[in-house]
Amino acid sequence: MLCIDQRRPIKHHYRNHTLIIKFNWRQYNANPESAVVLCEEVSGKAVVLALNGPWTSFDRAMTEAVFAAESWVDKQNTLTIGLGGQQ
């Protein structure tokens, strides 16, 4: 199992995207209350996903955050492919 400092932002690489996941705690060593996922940053602007907890464990919170981030990337790829033939 990975040893992660859960208080720091976590970088997750997926399909040429670097996603940043940050969890928020009400108190140290508690389960995360919420999470923020930075999906894309372009010219100082960002797409951010906000997830509401609390979760029963850090692992469940991480799983949900990674799933949300990867789903967002997949949707962007689908939109790009769908618009490929349009000018």
Q: Taking the domains of the chain in order of start, what are their residue ranges? A: 10-77
Give percent of the chain above pLDDT 90. Answer: 3
pLDDT single digits (tens) 25-64: 776 667 777 877 776 666 666 778 888 888 888 888 889 9
pLDDT tops 50 at residue 2: no
Give the whole-angstrom CA distance, residue 17 versus residue 19.
Answer: 6
Check whether 20 has a pLDDT greater than 80. yes
Q: What is the pTM of this model?
A: 0.70
Q: How far apart are the first and last CA of the chain?
A: 47
> Among residues 79, 53, 74, 78, which one has the least CA distance to residue 21?
53
